[in-house]
Amino acid sequence: LLATAIIDRKRDSCELSRDEIQFMLAGLVDGTVPDYQISAWAMAVLCRGMTQRETADLTDCMLASGNRLPRASDRPRVDKHSTGGLGDKVSLILAPLLACFDLDVPMLSGRGLGITGGTLDKLESYAGFRCDLTEDEINRQLVKIGCVITGTTPNIAPADRKLYALRDVTGTVPSIPLITASIMSKKLSASLDALVLDVKCGSGAFMKTLPEARELAASLVATGERMEVRTMALLTDMSQPLGRMVGNACEANEAVEILSGHCELGSASVRELTLRLCAELLVSLDQFPTREQATTSLSNALSDGRAMDRYEQMISEQGGTFCRRIDLASEHIIVAEHCGWVQAIDGERIGRAVIALGGGRQKQGDRINPNVGIEMLVRIGEPIAAAQPMMRVFADDTNKLHGAKRYLAAAITISDQAVSMQPLLLEE
């Protein structure tokens, strides 16, 4: 096998064999295939596509490039993955909530990427919280409390880590087969029984249109099923942030509100989506005959404090100092210039504003200020009066506040005519 011949074949739209895919990934990891050949190959994959068989082989070879987490108990193992959206703090609630139902939830999460925040960054708002657990520590915590949210270990899918770093700087991120293999190799390395996928669609998401989101969801589900893991996907709306809060500590605070059973109206979408994703998993594992029964039990675990207890345990097991409400930076209100109805919320601008506040990274390795962020006070379809508060900005620096305001000035579009509400769940 020759790297150049494999690049040529993909460039000429041929289907690659498992051996050819394995050759490229092994060469990437051991350095025998140089980066300039890998990046040309990745661009050819992006332009020419891959079949489901190729995508599954790519996933499996990436998985096989590293370790799988060994089983810690005989409880079923489940996980959720979201393709990333603004204000998505579902993982913080979902992991402890499912752990109340005799499931193990070994959640290997990531940092903020582009305009969307990262689950690990949100949890690090608790002083001392550790995201670098070893495989032993992960398993011990699973045995003890059934849930863990941490970064991937260096031994998990090293081929994916190297390929992702290269894709990030060579224009080869937006490829359905490459995204699929990257997500599924990391998730399946935890030896799961079931996986639910939340594929976001809209202005604040990576996939802007429903057909794109549908294609990615189909690719993820097909790959999961080829690899013998019960896999479901929901397509959900990301034409506006999920819930009220966007930013690290403020999203952790919102998660705690929901975990404690007291949920403001603006946070209803987070609660609804979390319950739905959990119910899908519980029904797929035959723990409940119907989604309605699962949802009732899940609501009870929120209202009677069990999920909250589990969350507190998880934070303290991982070295963090839990607190009900982390202090945020100073508040600044942004009001509507004229009356009307909220027609659109530009996720890109909201995300850039949070980065401008210091709540996200301009480049890898940047330090994040957890205490800044934005609270959305309106949602699409709501009537607005002139001078009505639309956003509450948490900022600790006047210059950064001005920077953020430049993005926020045009982030919300107000229409003269009534606008219908946006449904959260677009498709199953």
In the complex, which residues of this chain contact a second copy (CB under 8 A)? 3-4, 7-8, 10-11, 34-44, 46-48, 166, 169-172
Active-site entry in 167, 244, 271, 349: 167
Select 2 or 385, whichever has its Cβ closest to a second copy: 2
- Told to judge if 53 belongs to the known catalytic residues of this protein, a careful annotator would answer no
Select 24 or 308, whichever has its Cβ closest to a second copy: 24
Beta carbons within 8 Å of 262's beta carbon, 6+ residues apart: none
Active-site entry in 60, 79, 104, 160: 160
Select 116 or 269, whichever has its Cβ closest to a second copy: 116
Q: What is the DSSP track for 224-235?
A: HHHTT-EEEEEE
Q: How far is the C-alpha of 314 from the C-alpha of 298, rounded, in Å?
A: 18
- Told to judge if 160 belongs to the known catalytic residues of this protein, a careful annotator would answer yes
Q: Which helix (H) or strand (E) holds 310?
A: helix 306-317
**Shortest distance, position 345 Cβ to a second copy, whole Å:** 24
**Shortest distance, position 11 Cβ to a second copy, whole Å:** 5
The number of helix segments (H) and strand segments (E) in the chain equals 16, 13
Q: What is the DSSP track for 162-227?
A: HHHHHHHTTT----HHHHHHHHHHHHHTT--SEEEEEEEESTTSS--SHHHHHHHHHHHHHHHHHT
Residues in the chain: 428
- Told to judge if 81 belongs to the known catalytic residues of this protein, a careful annotator would answer yes
**Shortest distance, position 152 Cβ to a second copy, whole Å:** 23
Instruction: Give me the residue label for tokens 């657990």.
Output: 133
Q: What is the DSSP track for 14-30?
A: PPPPHHHHHHHHHHHHH
Quote the radius of gyration of the chain (alpha carbons, Å): 22
Select 34 or 128, whichever has its Cβ closest to a second copy: 34
Active-site entry in 65, 109, 175, 182: 182
- Told to judge if 186 belongs to the known catalytic residues of this protein, a careful annotator would answer yes
**Shortest distance, position 6 Cβ to a second copy, whole Å:** 8
Select 41 or 311, whichever has its Cβ closest to a second copy: 41
Active-site entry in 77, 162, 186, 349: 186
- Count of Cβ atoms closer than 10 Å to residue 310 Cβ: 22
Active-site entry in 10, 81, 271, 392: 81
**Shortest distance, position 172 Cβ to a second copy, whole Å:** 6
- Told to judge if 332 belongs to the known catalytic residues of this protein, a careful annotator would answer no
Which residues does the annotation mark as catalytic? 81, 160, 167, 182, 186
